[in-house]
A and B are shown apart, each in its own frame.
Chain A
Amino acid sequence: MDIFNSLMQGFATVLTPFNIWMAVIGCFFGTIVGILPGLGPSATIAMLIPLTFGMNATPAMIMMCAIYYGAMYGGSTTSILLNVPGESASVATTIDGYQMARQGRGGAALGISAIGSFVAGILGTIGLMLICVPLAKFALKFGPAEFFSLIVMGLLTIVYVGGKSISKSLMSGVIGMALGTIGIDVIQGAPRFVYDLPELMDGVSFITVVMGIFGIGEVLVSAEERMKITPIHVKFKDLWPTVAEVWQSKWAILRGTAIGFFMGALPGAGATISSFVAYAVEKGVAKNPERFGKGAIEGVAAPESANNACTSGAMVHLLALGIPGSGATAVMLGALMLYGLKPGPMMFHTNPDFVWALIASMFVGNVILIVMNLPMIPFFAMGLRIPYRYLYPGILLICIIGAYSLSSSIYDVWVMLIFGVIGYFMKKFDIPGAPMGIALILGPMLEYNLYRALALSRGDLTVFFTRPISATLLAIAAIMTILFSSKTIRVKRKMLEEVEE
C-alpha cells in the first residue's frame, strides 16, 4: 500500500504539462537516435544535458530516461527493415526481423517489437518498484567468477543464433573472439594487435563491425542478386501484426522481459547479451525451431522485449546501488551529480519524491512511446516499396553517417566498409554474422573475468565450481550443451536413416 501511495505521489509530480512535455521531447529524440544507426543513447543524453541546466533534477531526469527508452524502441526499425542494427542491442532482432520484412511482414515485425517493448517497459518498471533493493543485493553477489560462468553460458547461444551449420557458427564465433583481442588490454595495459595505430587502441568497435557485416554486406549481396527483382510488395493489411500473431508471441514477450530485467540488473551484462539469450531461449523452447531464422515472429518479440526490460534492470542498479549498469545510466549518474543529487542507496530515503517521480515517468514514457510509434509503423514499412536502386544508396548513406557519428572520424567509416566486404563474403559462404557479434562482445569479457577470478583466487581454478552461483550457471551451461548435442545427433541420425531408406 505504501508503494502504491508513493507511486501516486510520483504520478502527481509527473503529470504536469511541463514534465509531460519533457517526456515527449525525450521520447522523440530517443526514437530518432535509435532509428539512426551509430549515435547511441548515451551520447544523445550527454549532448542534451546542457539543455537541462537550470531545470530541476526531476524534469531533466524524466527527459533523459525518455531518451533511453526511445532509443531502445527506435533501434529495431532499421534492423528489421534494412538489416542495419541501430544499436548493439538490436542485432538479435535482425535475424528474424529482416526475414519478416523480406516476406512483406515488416509492419508486423515492427508492430510486435513496439508491443513487446511496451509490455516489457511496463512490467520492467513494476519489477523495479517491487524488488529493486533485494535484486540489487543479489546482483552484488556476482564477482568475477560468477560473471565468467554467466558469459560461458552466454557464449553457448552462438549455436542457437547461427544458421544450419554449427561448424560455420563456431567459425564465425572464433573470428569474433579474435577481433575482440585487438586493443589495449584492460588487465596489463599492453597493446595487442595495435600496430601503433591510435585508433586500434580502443579495439574494434562492435557497432561499426555489425553495421558493416549486416548492413553493408546485405546491400552488396542484394545488389548482386536482387537488383532486377521488383521491390517487396507490402500489402496494406500486413502493415500491422494480427491479433493472432500478438497472441502467439505472448510467452516470448514475457520470457524476454524476465531475461532482460534480470540481466539488466547485472552490471555490464547488458542489453545486448540479454537480447541474444532471449532469442536462444525462444528457439530452444520452440516446438519447431526450424522456423527461426526464417521470419519467426517470436524471434523478434523476445529480443526486443529483453532489450527494453533491460533498461529497467539497469535503473535498478543506478537507483539502488548508485552504480551505473550501462553506458546510458553512467551518463545519467554524472548528470545527477551535476544537479547536486547523490545517486546511491540513500536516494530512496533522501529524495523519495524524485525517485518515485522517476518511476512514474517510466510508465508515462512507455505510454507516450507506444502512442507515438504505432501510427508511424505503416509509414516505415511502406518505405520498403522504394525501388532498390534508390533504397540501397540510401542505406549506404545512413550507414556511413552512422559510422561517422560514432566519434566524428572517417576511420570508423573505413572499418565499417571493410567489414562490409567481409560481410559480403560471409554471406556468400553462408557463415552467419550473429555469432561473430556475440563473441566480439563476450570474448573480452570472458577473458578479463577469467583473469580477475584467477588473480583473486591466486590461480586456484576450483573457484568456478566451489562458489554456488558460478557452479549453478556452469551446470546450466553443461545441460544446455548436452541437450543441444543430443538433439542435433538425433536429427542427423534421422536424416541419415531417411537417406538410407
Chain B
Amino acid sequence: MGRKVFICSLAVMFCVIAVMVAVEAKAAYPDKTIEFVVHSPAGGGSDLFSRAIGSILEKEGIVKQKIQVVNRDGGSGTTSLNYMFDKAGDAHVVMQFTTGPLSALLRGSSKLKMEDITFLTLMCMDPNLAFTRVESPYNDMKSVIEYAKKNPDKVSVAIGTVAGSEHISAHRVAKASGTQLNMVGFGGGGAASVAILGGHVDLGFGNVNEQMGQIEAKTIKPLGVMSPQRIPAMPNVLTMKEQGINAVYVQPRGFWAPKNFPDYALKFWEDAFFKLSKTKAYQDLLKTSYAVDSFMKHEETKTFVNDYIKVLKVDVDELGVYKKK
C-alpha cells in the first residue's frame, strides 16, 4: 500500500515539475542559441547585415541568448528555403529575406512554399541606382534613353546575376521607356563594376551602398535612382520617374521564420526587431549602408511581400528565366 502511494506521489511530482519547466521555458524564451539563417555565403551583403544585426541584438541586451549566423548558401537560394522547410515548428530559427530568396520562392524549385512562411518583420529597403563611368558622355538617364531609342540594342548594360536586382532594374527601365538595351551577364557585381569602370560596358545598375565609394571618388556618376523618392545621400540625383521613365525598384530586407512558428516567439521577435530599429547602433548601420528604415510588423510585412512578389513575377516571367520545360 505504502509503495503505491509513494509511486503516485512521485508521478504527481514529476507532472508538476514538467509543467513548471514548460511554463518557465515559455517565460524565458529564447532558451537556447538562435539560428540566423542566411541564403548567401559568408561575407555577402546579406550575411554581413545579419551578423551586424545579431551582434547589436546581443550587445543591447534585446536578445539574451547567443545568435549564430548559419549560411545555407547554394542553389540560388533554394538550399536555404529547403532548410527552413525542414525546420518547421522550430522556435529558434529565423531567416533574413531579401530579393534573392524571394525569387527562389517564385521559381518554385524549393520544398518551401509561400504559405509555409511565418513573416516576422520588414527592416529596411536598399535603394538602387543607375550609373556610368565619369568619362561617359551621359549625365542623366534621360539622355541615355533618348540615344537608346534611336539606336536600339546599342547601349550595353552590365548585369550581375541573371534575374538579380540589376537585371530586374534594367529590365524595368527598358520596359517603361520602350527601348531595347543590350544586357550582358557578368555573374557578379565585382566583374560588372570593372567592366563599367574600364569603359567596356556603357551602363550599370547597383546598390547605392556598394557604389558610394566609387561615386565619391568620382570614377562613376549616378544617372538616376530607382526608388520612388530621391535618396537623402544624393539629393541632386533625379528618380527615374522624374526623368519620365516609369520604373521603380527597391530591395527589401526583413526576417521570416519557419512554418508553425509559435505565437509567443513571433511576438518576441516582433518586439525584438522593433526595439532594435530604435537603437542608435542600428540607425548608424542603416546610415553607413544607405538603407532606408521601413520597419513593418508581421501582418504588414506579409501584405507587402505578397504584393512585391506579384510584381516581381511579371518581370521574371518576361525575362524568360526559370521557365519550366
On A, residues with C-beta under 8 Å from B are 42-43, 45-47, 49-50, 53-54, 139-144, 184, 186-190, 196, 198-199, 201-202, 267-268, 321-325, 327, 330-331, 334-335, 337-340, 342-347, 407-409, 448, 452, 455-456, 458
Contacts and interface: CB of A to CB of B under 8 A. Distances in A.
A325 B213 CA distance: 16
B78 A140 contact: no
Interface string B165-204: 0000000000000000010111100110111011111000
A430 to B, nearest CB: 35
Contact of B186 (A199, A342, A344, A452): A452
Contacts of B75: 198-199, 201-202
A45 B187 contact: no
Contacts of B187: 186, 448
Nearest to A350: B216
B193 to A, nearest CB: 5
Contact of B182 (A184, A409, A456): A456
Interface stretch (B4-12, B37-45, B139-147, B304-312): B37-45
B322 interface: yes
A322 B214 contact: yes
A186 B217 contact: no
B288 to A, nearest CB: 4
19 contacts: A42-B41, A43-B43, A140-B197, A187-B162, A187-B185, A196-B109, A198-B79, A201-B74, A202-B75, A267-B190, A268-B190, A322-B214, A340-B288, A345-B214, A346-B213, A346-B216, A346-B217, A407-B71, A409-B79
Given A202-B75, A267-B190, A407-B73, A456 B42 contact: no
A342 B213 contact: yes
Interface in B31-65: 41-45, 47-48, 51-52, 54-55, 59
B56 to A, nearest CB: 9
A46 B49 CA distance: 11
Contacts of B54: 50
Contact of A46 (B51, B184, B284): B51
B52 A338 contact: yes
A492 to B, nearest CB: 42
A337 B195 contact: no
A456 B213 contact: no
B219 interface: yes
Contacts of B78: 198, 201
Nearest to A49: B51
Given A189-B163, A202-B75, A321 B44 contact: no
Contacts of B41: 42-43, 46, 407
Q: Which of B72, B163, B216 has the most CB of A within 10 A?
A: B216
B156 A45 contact: no
Given A42-B43, A50-B54, A337-B209, A456 B156 contact: yes
Given A49-B51, A198-B82, A407-B74, A42 B42 contact: yes
Nearest to B160: A186
Contact of B198 (A142, A198, A322, A448): A142
Contacts of A343: 213
Contacts of A330: 43, 190
A60 to B, nearest CB: 13
Contacts of A201: 74-76, 78, 109
B265 interface: no
Contacts of B44: 334
B82 to A, nearest CB: 7
Contacts of B209: 337
Contacts of A46: 41-43, 47-48, 51
B194 A140 contact: yes
A500 to B, nearest CB: 54
B292 interface: no
B212 A321 contact: no
B285 interface: yes
Interface in B265-286: 284-285
Contacts of A347: 213
B72 to A, nearest CB: 7
Which of B59, B186, B190 has the largest count of A CB atoms less than 10 A from its CB?
Answer: B190
A355 to B, nearest CB: 13
Contacts of A335: 48
B76 A53 contact: no
A434 B193 CA distance: 32
Contacts of B59: 53-54
A139 B190 CA distance: 13
A339 B193 CA distance: 22
Nearest to B325: A191
Contact of A141 (B42, B52, B198, B212): B198
Nearest to A331: B43
A143 B194 CA distance: 8
Contacts of A50: 51, 54-55
A186 B75 CA distance: 13
Contact of A337 (B42, B76, B284, B288): B288
Contact of B191 (A268, A345, A456): A268
Given A407-B73, A452-B186, A143 B47 contact: no
Nearest to B215: A344
B48 A345 contact: no
Given A321-B197, A343-B213, A346-B217, 9 more contacts: A42-B41, A46-B51, A50-B54, A54-B59, A186-B161, A202-B73, A337-B209, A340-B288, A455-B184
A141 to B, nearest CB: 6
Nearest to A452: B184
Nearest to A189: B162
Given A42-B41, A338-B288, A323 B76 contact: no
Interface in B103-150: 109-110
B285 A338 contact: yes
Contacts of B182: 455-456
A339 B44 CA distance: 15
Residue among A142, A188, A338 with the highest chain B CB neighbour number at 10 A = A338
A458 B184 CA distance: 11
Nearest to A44: B42
A4 B219 CA distance: 28
A304 B208 CA distance: 38
B74 A202 contact: yes
B19 interface: no
Contacts of A54: 59
B289 to A, nearest CB: 7
B321 interface: yes
A330 B78 CA distance: 23
B322 A189 contact: yes
Nearest to B109: A198
A184 B76 contact: yes
Given A268-B191, A330-B190, A452-B184, A53 B52 contact: yes
Contacts of B109: 196, 198, 201
Given A201-B75, A407-B74, A344 B184 contact: no
